[in-house]
Each structure stands twice: as structure tokens, then as C-alpha cells.
Amino acid sequence: MQSSVSKKQLQALGRLPAGTMNRTEAAYDLVLKQRLMAGEIQWYKFEGVKLRLAAATFYTADFFVMGADGQLEVHEVKGVWTDDARVKTKVAAAMYPFRFLGIRRGKRNTGWEVEEF
């Protein structure tokens, strides 16, 4: 049986206001706080940087992270990757000189899976 709800409507239902973390992002924020306290990273910011991909297309990174070595990384945190999110992340990774990481909860919410773009 097909649903009458479109993919766009479904995505809109799950959108939170800018600057508001979803549960997965909030859980990852705790990981980053621990890494900051341990000295593994120097700084991080949630949705603090917006990158232009094209004339009217932007990519807002979930987290910009500065490692202990000063290297800047983009951490894109997803429960589930959509095609649109994956494409935007790949395009941004090709355009900008930062390390881009895709972060997902591990199976049964144990640990984190990391994918480099």
C-alpha cells in the first residue's frame, strides 16, 4: 500500500528550527564535549558555518570541529542518510579544504560509525 505523504512532506515533518539539535545530534554533542574536556579537540560549533555550493544552494554543517592539531573538520551527523544530504556533503567536500566526516549511530545505538568523504 502506497502512502499519500510525499518524501518532501515527510522530511518537512522531521525538520527542527535552525540551531536546534535532534536527538542524534544532541547525543553526538555530548561526545564532542567529552573530547573537548579530554583535549582531543580544541573547539567545535553546532550549525556555525554555512558553505555556498551554488548560486542559491547552501550547505550548513552540523558540527565544525577543530582538532587538537588545529585541523578543521566537518562532522555531518545523520540517523539516516538521504540522497540529497549525501550529495550535498560530497559536493561540499569536493569544494572546500576541510576534512568531511559522516557520523552515524552504530547498530543498536552502540558507538558511532564514521565515513570520510
For the chain, give every domain's residue range: 21-116
**CB hemisphere CA count around 108 (13 angstroms):** 0
Coil vs helix vs strand at 63? strand
In tens, the pLDDT along 55-110 reads 999 999 999 999 999 999 999 999 989 999 999 999 999 999 999 999 998 877 77
Given this model, what pLDDT does residue 32 score? 98
Per CATH, the number for 21-116 is 3.40.1350.10
C-alpha cell at 39: 583535549
Q: CB neighbours (10 Å) of residue 72?
A: 15
Given this model, what pLDDT does residue 62 score? 97
Assign 2 a pLDDT band (cuts: 50, 70, 90). Answer: very low
- Cell 553546532 locates to 46
**If we measure between CA atoms, which residue out of 105, 10, 91 comes closest to residue 57?**
91
Query: Interior CA angle at 30 toward 84 and 105, to 5°?
Result: 45
